[in-house]
């Protein structure tokens, strides 16, 4: 698992948030689930992903954005 669930105990905005506030937020739901939502529509619970799936996604995105990749 690539994230610390305690670091995502509250909704956390993406570090790539736009100046106008359009972004996604993530939050750990227990040890096995990550929720993702649109920051403009916080009334919805967002999408749920297993912690393993979320970790694989983050690793893939990180590798694709690495210089020289």
SS3 assignment, position 65: coil
Q: What is the pTM of this model?
A: 0.70
CA quadruple 46, 15, 68, 1: dihedral sign: negative
Looking at every residue in the chain, the average pLDDT score rounds to 80
Percent of the chain with pLDDT over 90: 12
Confidence class of residue 69 from pLDDT cuts 50, 70 and 90?
low
How many residues does the structure list for the chain?
69
If you average pLDDT over residues 2-20, what whole number do you get? 70
Pick the residue with more confidence: 33 or 66? Answer: 33
CA distances (Å), 9 to each of 35, 37, 52, 58, 62, in order?
11, 14, 17, 18, 22
């Amino acid at each position: 698992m690539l994230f610390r669930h305690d670091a995502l105990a509250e909704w956390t905005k993406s570090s790539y948030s736009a100046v106008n506030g359009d972004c996604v937020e993530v939050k750990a739901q227990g040890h096995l689930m990550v929720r993702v939502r649109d920051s403009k529509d916080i009334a919805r619970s967002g999408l749920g992903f297993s912690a393993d799936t979320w970790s694989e996604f983050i690793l893939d995105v990180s590798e694709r954005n690495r210089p020289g990749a």
